[in-house]
Amino acid sequence: MTQSATATSGAGITVIGPGATLGVLGSGQLGRMFTIAARRLGYRVHTFSPDEDTPTGQVADVEVTASYDDLDRLRAFAREVQVVTFEFENVPAIAVEAISGLVPVRPSGSALYIAQQRGREKAFLSEHGFPTVPFARVDGIAALRDAVAHIGTPAVVKTAAFGYDGKGQHKLTSATVFEQVWEAVGRREVVVEKFINLQAEISVIAARGLDGSVAEYVPFENRHSRHILDVTTAPAQVLPALASRAREIARAILDKLQYVGVLCVEFFVSTENELFVNELAPRPHNSGHLTVDAAVTSQFEQQVRAITGLPLGSTELLRPAAMANILGDLWVDGEPNWAAACAFPDVKLHLYGKSEARPGRKMGHLTAMGKTVHEAQDRVIAARDALLS
């Protein structure tokens, strides 16, 4: 048997087998955990990003440092790998086009194109009948005024492109001065949404394989702090019928996109138990980090399986679990007390290899397991508090 086997499975699918080389665009912690999963399965990994000594590069076989606009370097990168995936979705469309003819790109450029821009994403969702909060795409101040008059206040304005962790968002009330908001968002395309009274935010992480099979985890529940994910608990404590509905919607979205890879669907659950799709992330997601320790197959292994044509793994959750992010803020008094957190039973520490701790920067996370979701959550928060002891 030679390494780098490329075999055709029974379903007529060409499997990119262990020993092959996988390419990742982007080099943060998602790429790092993808790479660890890929290497455990016997793959090699090359990463491409503008940075050096990155979370992904530290564990990959090859780290290419070049701009996403450097199409020659991108093509050279693509020729060295058997399939390309993303850990960072804001890669310019031109970069994806440049490599699409050379190597399979999974998920495809068209799925990325939709998920990259909030306006297009919301339009896709509502055109296909997926529930979204009332919204409007707006590209001028008069249109903004009309949209708010139609949707009502309070409302939220979000920049259409390149927003994350609440960056580029503004809440509108009846007292809002539209000129100020339009300036604040940089006078560019925005999405205006009705503000929802939230009971919970949940996410469904799902994968679709090359053969069209779909596997999703149970919904996870997410709490944010300053617009950044703070704690995820699994399974989400929502009505069973609502959890089933969220899973069905996620499956239908992946099918509609003919998606290959892992996708996260973020939902709002209103205080009236309505379910709305908030946004899509075309990659593994922060809320799925607990699958590394608490599920049969992690979201990162699932991404490897999906993009190489291997069968998807079981998404079964082994125990109730909770994840707490470790942000750079925890370095206020110097290096956190890692030993104190590791002393907790059923708590696992993950660090991303970032040398510079800045406020708001995701440096790592903790996962805890327990007999109940509450126990797991209490443990993970106590372990994180202990970092400052």
Nearer to ligand ADP, 161 or 357 (CB): 161
Question: Binder to ligand ADP among 26, 163, 209, 282 (CB under 6 A)?
Answer: 163
Q: Is 226 in the site for ligand ADP (CB under 6 A)?
A: no
Q: How many residues bind ligand ADP (CB under 6 A)?
A: 17
Q: Is 87 in the site for ligand ADP (CB under 6 A)?
A: no
**Taking a C-beta distance cutoff of 8 angstroms, is the pair 160, 113 a contact?**
no
Long-range contacts of 253-256 (CB under 8 A, 24+ apart): 253/125, 253/130, 253/206, 253/277, 253/280, 254/206, 254/207, 254/208, 254/214, 255/208, 255/212, 255/214, 256/128
Q: Is 165 in the site for ligand ADP (CB under 6 A)?
A: yes
Q: Residue 32 CB, nearest distance to ligand ADP (Å)?
A: 21
Q: Is 198 in the site for ligand ADP (CB under 6 A)?
A: yes
Nearer to ligand ADP, 203 or 367 (CB): 203
Question: Binder to ligand ADP among 88, 113, 178, 195 (CB under 6 A)?
Answer: 195
Nearer to ligand ADP, 171 or 187 (CB): 171
- DSSP states along 166-188: TTTEEEE-TT--HHHHHHHTTSS
Q: Is 196 in the site for ligand ADP (CB under 6 A)?
A: yes
Q: How far lies 215's CA from each of 9, 77, 113, 307, 366, in Å?
A: 19, 30, 23, 14, 25
Q: Is 171 in the site for ligand ADP (CB under 6 A)?
A: no
Question: Binder to ligand ADP among 224, 226, 371, 374 (CB under 6 A)?
Answer: 224
Nearer to ligand ADP, 165 or 329 (CB): 165
- DSSP states along 273-319: --EEEEEEESS--GGGTTHHHHBSS-HHHHHHHHHHTPPPPP--B-S
Q: Rounded CA gap, 298 and 315, in Å?
A: 8
Q: Is 166 in the site for ligand ADP (CB under 6 A)?
A: yes
The contact set with ligand ADP (CB under 6 A) reads 133, 156, 158, 163-166, 193, 195-196, 198, 201, 224, 227, 266, 278-279
